[in-house]
Each structure stands twice: as C-alpha cells, then as structure tokens.
Chains A and B, each alone.
Chain A
Amino acid sequence: MNLDSQTLWLLGGVLALLTVSSVIGAVLSMRVQSESGRRVVDNLNARTRAWWVMAIIFGSALALGRTALVIMFALTSFLALREFITLTPTRRADHRALFWSFFVILPLHYWTLGIAWYGLFVILITVYAFLFIPMRNALAGDTEHFLERTAKTQWGLMLCVYCVSYVPALLMLNVTGTRAGNVRLIFFLVCIAQLSDVLQYVWGKLCGRRPVAPKLSPNKTIEGLVGGGLSAVAVGAVLWWSTPFTPLQAAGLAAVIVAMGFFGGLVMSAIKRDRGVKDYGDIIPGHGGVLDRIDSLCFAAPIFFHLVRWIWT
C-alpha cells in the first residue's frame, strides 16, 4: 500500500472539491436561462464529469503503486502520441519509423522507468531515438521534407513520451525517503498543473477581458492567467505539509509549474492553430483529446523533476 494518512487527506480533498464542483454545476444548470449560457454550463458539467473519471483513474494508480503508475502513464503517452501523429502530416516513408516509435521506443522507455534505470531513462529518447529516427527515415529513401518529417516524429516522442514520463519518474528520486512521500510528490505536480488550468479557466470566465495571445488562444486572458496562477501558487503553498518543502519553497515550485504549464498550453495551441484544428481529439468529453489535457504537464514535469533532483537530492 502506497497511501499513508497524508495521501488519504489529499485524495479526500480532491473528492470534496469534485463534489462541490458537481453541486455548483447542477445549481447553475437549473438557473441558466440564455442559449449561450446553456452551452457554457453544459460544457462545464461535461468537464466536471470527465474530471471525476480522470481523478478516479489517477487516484487508483497512485494507490496501486509503481507498476500501475508506470503503465497508466505509458498508456497516456500512447494516446497522446497517437493524437500528435494523426495531426502531423507524415508520408509513406515515415511508416517504419513510426512503428518503431509506438511499439519499440515507447515501451522500452517506460521499461527503463519500471526498473528505475535512470542513466538509460534520460538518454534513450534524447540520444538513441533522436539519432535512430533520421537513420530509419534515410533508409526509407524519401528525401521530400526530410528534415521536417524527421523533426515531427522526434517532437512527438519528446513531448508525448519523454516529457510525460517525467511525472512517474519522480518515483525514482530519493527526496522523501519513503515511497508514500514520492507518491505525494507526483500528486503535488499533477494537482498544481491541472488546478492551474482549471483556475485560469474559472478566473477567465469570471473576469477575463484582455487576451494574452489572441492569435493562439482567444480564451487565455491576462486576468485568468494572473488570478488562476496566483491561486494555484497559493494552493501549492498550503499543500507544503504533504511535501519535503517549506511553504515558501512549495510556493516557488508551484509558480514554476504554473509558468511552464502556461507556456505548454500556448505552444500546443500554436501547433493546433497551424494545423487548423481546435482540439487534438475527442476522447475526453468537454476537454478534447488527451494532449489537450496534459499539454501543461508536458512542459512542467521535466523542469519540476530536474529542479527537485538538483536541489533536494
């Protein structure tokens, strides 16, 4: 069992938060009059329902332990990479390199995590796969857009596999000394990254006026970013007792997660706009694709991991 009383308190908190959200959603649903308001509330409730499902899956993996967490994130990477590659125009000649990416590199990478082989974990994709993909594409012989096509596959692996895997990689760190402590570190990262998205959405809906990057993402506003970001940092500070950090350190790390998450969302939006789509997929009702939900985590996880590893181990 990986859950001690502190972790149970955290999971209980999530349960309470989701219950409150569902109640608010139900009240709004009864009160709303206008057509446009109805759409916003329906979308909000779809999002809340999807949050329940995601929280239950994530919570179960946390409770089940290392193997379950690694498998859960490997599946997440698989779904995210599938969305990313679908949206990226590849050619016939990329087929074999893509097969390797999905069915060899991805499982191998998560296997290094499973056996906690840190040395290979950090270089399997950044060095070996980075060189292997252009090698395989060169053998296929198609030179049209060669650099572009190769870079797209490398990007897919880096974002959807390498960066995402830094969340369960926290289990490898020897910061807290206990397994339950490492599980809480994962909870801290995921909770702040996702809460930051939610709070930015809520603040943006309540008092958002000026868009930050109207071309990329019309729904991201300065008010949402500042209000949501500061609230998420406050939550991070309040959760200090569940981490190896002091309240000030917890706030600082939460600020890093918020900032990286914000830019993650922005970069992934830029790619979507370039491809002319709104979402990466439709697997999570109200949210879009898996990649739409974890874009902030992709950018926040590696930085959080290496900051913690550098300073606290």
Chain B
Amino acid sequence: MTAALIAWFTRVLTGVRARWHGCAPVAEQRVYFANHTSNLDFVLLWAALPVELRRKTRPVAARDYWEGGGVREWLAGRVFRAVLIERRTVTRENNPLTPMLDALAGGESLIIFPEGTRNPDGEVNPFKPGLFHIAKARPEVALVPVFIENLNRVLPKGEVLPVPMLCSVSFGEPLRLADGEAKPQFLTRARDALLALRPS
C-alpha cells in the first residue's frame, strides 16, 4: 500500500518511463547497477519496474543512513526491504558483500550503486569493486546497467523537498564476467556500459 503510493508519487513528480534498450522487463534474477546522483535514485528505478518485478527486487543501501530509527528505518525495512550494508567500519564480520550474496541466494534481484556515493553534478565516478565480486560469486545472475537521468535536479544533495522534473530510466544489455577477466578491466567495461546509456 505505502509502496504503491510512493511509486505513484514518484511517477507524478518525474513522469518516469522505463526505456528497455538491451533487455526486456522479465522476471529473471538480476543485479541492476545504476549511476548515483540523488537519495531518490533507488526509489525511481524501483518505481520504473513493473509491479511483479518490484516485489522481487531489493535496493542495497547504507546502514548508517537508513538505520537511524523513525521513518527512514521503517521505509528501508518494511516498504523497500532494503539490504543494508556497512560502509564506514568494514570488518571481516560485517563484510558488505555478505548480505548482498545472502539476498541473491534467496532468489531476489538487487539494485546497487557501484560508485559508492552520490555524485551531485551528474558525472559517473569509477566503480567500487563490489560489482566484480558479485559477478564472480554469482556468474549466472544478469548484471543490468541502468542510467538514471535528471534525478539530481529533482532532489539535489542537501535538499529535502523535491521539484517535479521529467526523468528517464534506461536499461541496457546485461553484462557477465568474461573468462579470466581481471577486476579493473571488468569494472571499466561495466562503467562504459552504463555511460553508453546516457541520453545525448
């Protein structure tokens, strides 16, 4: 109910339409990896998916931001069923990969932002290695690049109130780790696949 309401409100704000360039919206297990410019990124990507895919797709988010109690924790835990990961004090016990691989083992799809942090000017930073480790651990899962356009203007970093702005979400061709592909090459290839989706 809340989820449907939030998805609807996001659509009103952004008029978002999913553009499926490299794959179709089918119910296979996927990791959607997208550029990160706004706190609303995963909400928009999630709202752009058909309802039946939404139910099986969980965003990966920072524990320090989403576990402060109150509305945020409720949204992350109940509405979006976020996979919360550590990003400040990473130890062997709270390795951020573990909860993501657990969620994948449970048959669910993930939304991740491999840049690690928001980039308010709309550029795309080099990727953190998490995507590579997922690709290596779960070679059968399709890694789908997703470019989110314009959302940094809807809710810029530091603002609380959103402004309506047309946004687009473009889904590209799924990626898989090639035989013997090294980490830097794979991460560059994944980032290039994401950039190729940027509308001119």
Which of B156, B161, B165 has a CB less than 8 Å from the CB of A85? B165
Cα–Cα distance between A99 and B150 once the two chains are bound (Å): 16
- Residues of A near B15 (CB, < 8 A) are 79, 82, 281, 283
- The SS class assigned to the A binding surface is helix
Of A90-98, A144-152, A242-250, the one touching chain B: A90-98
For chain B, residues 101 to 147, give those with C-beta under 8 angstroms from any C-beta of chain A: 120
In the assembled complex, how far is the CB of residue A85 from the closest CB belonging to chain B, in whole angstroms? 6
Cα–Cα distance between A21 and B164 once the two chains are bound (Å): 35
Size category, B interface: 10 to 19
Does A201 touch B at the CB level, under 8 Å?
Answer: no
For chain B, residues 155 to 171, give those with C-beta under 8 angstroms from any C-beta of chain A: 156, 159, 161-166
- The SS class assigned to the B binding surface is loop
Say yes or no: B165 contacts A99, CB within 8 Å.
Answer: no
Say yes or no: B163 contacts A95, CB within 8 Å.
Answer: yes
Does B56 touch A at the CB level, under 8 Å?
Answer: no
Say yes or no: A282 contacts B17, CB within 8 Å.
Answer: yes
Residues of B in contact with A (beta carbons under 8 Å apart):
15, 17, 120, 150, 153, 156, 159, 161-166
Say yes or no: B166 contacts A281, CB within 8 Å.
Answer: yes
Residue of A nearest to B17 (CB): A282
- Residues of A near B162 (CB, < 8 A) are 99
In the assembled complex, how far is the CB of residue B111 from the closest CB belonging to chain A, in whole angstroms? 24
Q: Which of B17, B156, B162, B163 has the most CB of A within 10 A?
A: B163
Q: Take A95-B159, A281-B15, A283-B15 as given contacts and tell me if A90 and B153 are in contact as well, using a CB distance cutoff of 8 Å.
A: yes
Cα–Cα distance between A249 and B162 once the two chains are bound (Å): 47
Say yes or no: B164 contacts A78, CB within 8 Å.
Answer: yes
Q: Which of A85, A86, A90, A283 has the most CB of B within 10 A?
A: A86
